[in-house]
Amino acid sequence: MRAKSSTAPFRRWGFILASALVSIRRGGVKNLIVPLTSFVLALFIGLFGHQIATSEDELDVLYENSEVLAYFTSGSGKHVDDLIIDPNTVNSIAETGFVGETYTTAIRNTHIIGAPTSIISIYDNGEYLSIPPGFAKETFFENARRHLSKVCFVSDIKHAPEFFFENALAIEYLDGYDASVFGRNESVCALSEGMMDALGYELGDSIRLAVFTSTLSDAIILYKDVTIVAQFTRVGSSHLIYMPAEQANKGYILNTDRQYSNASQSYYDGYEIVDGLVYDYEYVDPYFAYDAVSMRLTNLKDLAEFKEYLIDSGYSPIGNRGSARKWIVIEDTLLNDSVMSINRHISYMQILFIAVYALAIGIGFVLSSLLTKMRRRELALMRSMGAGRFKTFAAFFIEQALLCVTGCVMAVLVLRIWNGSLAPLQWYSFIGYIGCYWLGAAVSVMLMNKVNIIEILTAGE
C-alpha cells in the first residue's frame, strides 16, 4: 500500500483540493459569508473599474478629438504675423511627430496692374514689362506704392493671421471651389469684398499681379495671372490677396523686398535675372521666411514631451527670452482643464480602489481567521497525521480562495448582465481584489498553521 509511484505527489495535491471542495460543500451556511462579502466588494470594485474605464475612454476621445493649435508669436505674445520664421525651423518642428498640419503664411508686396486683357498686348509684344509709357520713373513708383496691395500665401485661409482670432470666417467661393483650394497648387486667389467692389471685379475674373523693386535702375516687374475664386469680409486693415501657399514656389511673386537687392545677382535656384531678363525655372527652392506659422498638434497625450522638445530647442514661454529667441504659443488650456478634470475623477476612483483593496486584505484576514479558528482541531489533526505545514496551509487556503472566487464570479456575472461586457480594467480590478483577499486569507491561515498541535488535540480531554 506504500505510495511509490511518481504520480503520488499529484494525487496528494488532488486530494488536498478535493478535501477543500468537500469542506466547502459541507461547511454549511457559515461558508456563505465569504462569497457574499466577496460578491459585494467585487461588485464595488467592478463599478469603480467601470467608472475609471469610462473616464479613460473619455480621455482618449478627448485627446483624439481635441484640436490644439500652436503658433509662432512675438515675444510679447501679441503678434502672430509679420514675423520672420525660417522654414527649416518649421520643418524641424514638423518632423517631431507632434504636428499634424502646418499652416504657413507668407505675405509679399504686389501691385495689381489690371485685368490680363488690358495688358495682354504689352506682354504679347515680347517686351519685358516696364514703366508704362508716359510715366516718369519716380511717378510710377510713387503711384505703385500708393496702390500697393499684398499677396498672402496661405495653406489654409482660416489660419491666416487676419482671421486667426476669428471664430467664423465669412467667405464666399466660386461654384466648384471650397476652402481646400488653398491646399492645392492652382493659380487662384481670394479678394476682400471691399476690394472686389472698388476694382469692379467679380468671382471668376482673372487679374494680373505684379511685383517690382525700386532698388533697380529700371523697374522690373514680375507678374502672374490669377483667377478670383473667393471673396471674404475683410477683418484686417490692409488689402490682402490670398493665394495658395504652393503658388509661392512658382517664384513669380515672392522674390521681392527681403531677398531682392541686386539685379546682377543670382537669387535662388530657379531664379536668375540676366541682362534684365527673368528666367523662370518653375521650381524655386522654398527657402524663404514665413510671416506667420500655426500648427495643429497631434499625439496630444504626449504634449508635455513636445513642450520639452521646444524648451530644449531654445523656445521660450511668452515674456521670457530663450536662446533661440523664438516664441510658440500652445493653446492647450481647454484641453488641460478637461484632462485635469477627468484625471481628478480617476484619481478619486483610484483612491477608492486602494481603500477597497486594503479592506479586502482586512476582510480576507478576519473572515479566514474566524472560519479557520473554528477548525483549528482539524488543522492540528492533519499536522499530527503527517500533513506538512504547506499542505495544511494549502488545504485551508484553497478553501478560502475558492469561496472568494465564487463571490467574484457572481459579481462578474451580475456586471456582465448589467453592462454587457467588461473592460480590461475591470478584469484587472477583480484580479486585484482576489489577490488582496487571498493575501489577507493567506496571512490568516499561515498564522493559524503555527498552532501547537499537542495543545489543541489534547484540549478538553
Partner 1 sequence: MSILSMENVSYTYRNRYQTVNAVCNVSYEFELGHVYAVVGKSGSGKTTMLSMLAGLDLPTEGRVLFDGKPTSTLNRDRYRRENVAVIYQSFNLFPLMTVKENVMYPSRLRGIRKKDALRCASEKLELVGISEQQSKRLPFMLSGGEQQRVAIARALASESQVILADEPTGNLDVENTKNIVGILSDLSHDMGYCVVIVTHDLSIAERADVVVRMVDGRITEDQSPHDNALLHCRS
Residues in the site for partner 1, rule: CB under 8 A?
1-3, 5, 7-12, 15, 19, 22-23, 26-27, 377-378, 381, 384-389, 391, 453-454, 457-458, 460-461
Q: How far is the CB of 454 from partner 1 (least distance, A)?
A: 5
What are the backbone angles phi and psi of residue 234, rounded to the nearest 5°? -70, 140
Q: How far is the CB of 434 from partner 1 (least distance, A)?
A: 24
What are the grid coordinates assigned to 306, written together? 513636445
Q: How far is the CB of 442 from partner 1 (least distance, A)?
A: 20
Give the integer Cα–Cα distance in Å for 330 and 171.
27
Q: Which residues contact 168 (CB under 8 A, 6 or more apart)?
A: none
Pair type for strands 221-232 and 315-316: unpaired
For residues 39 and 410, is the Cβ–Cβ distance under 8 A?
A: yes
Nearest CB to partner 1, comparing residues 108 and 391 = 391
Q: How far is the CB of 430 from partner 1 (least distance, A)?
A: 29
Q: How far apart are the first and last CA of the chain?
A: 33
Q: How far is the CB of 404 from partner 1 (least distance, A)?
A: 19
Partner residues linked to 109 by β-bridges: 150
Give the integer Cα–Cα distance in Å for 343 and 345.
5
Pair type for strands 292-297 and 68-73: antiparallel
Which one-letter amino acid corresponds to residue 228?
A: I
Q: How far is the CB of 367 from partner 1 (least distance, A)?
A: 18
Nearest CB to partner 1, comparing residues 347 and 458 = 458
Nearest CB to partner 1, comparing residues 28 and 176 = 28
Nearest CB to partner 1, comparing residues 303 and 394 = 394
Nearest CB to partner 1, comparing residues 23 and 105 = 23
Q: How far is the CB of 452 from partner 1 (least distance, A)?
A: 9
218 in helix, strand or coil? coil
- Find, among 171, 193, 167, the residue nearest to 182 by Cα: 171
Residues in the chain: 461
For residues 38 and 406, is the Cβ–Cβ distance under 8 A?
A: yes
Question: What H or E segment, with its residue span, contains residue 294?
Answer: strand 292-297
Nearest CB to partner 1, comparing residues 12 and 321 = 12
Partner residues linked to 209 by β-bridges: 112, 224
Nearest CB to partner 1, comparing residues 277 and 385 = 385
Nearest CB to partner 1, comparing residues 15 and 281 = 15
Q: How far is the CB of 395 from partner 1 (least distance, A)?
A: 10
Q: How far is the CB of 2 from partner 1 (least distance, A)?
A: 7
Q: How far is the CB of 11 from partner 1 (least distance, A)?
A: 5
Partner residues linked to 241 by β-bridges: 151
- Find, among 293, 294, 302, the residue nearest to 331 by Cα: 294
What are the backbone angles phi and psi of residue 103, rounded to the nearest 5°? -110, 115
Q: Count CB atoms within 10 A of the CB of residue 311.
A: 12
Nearest CB to partner 1, comparing residues 17 and 131 = 17
Nearest CB to partner 1, comparing residues 265 and 384 = 384
What are the grid coordinates assigned to 72, written together? 509662432
Pair type for strands 149-154 and 315-316: unpaired
What are the grid coordinates assigned to 358, written together? 486594503
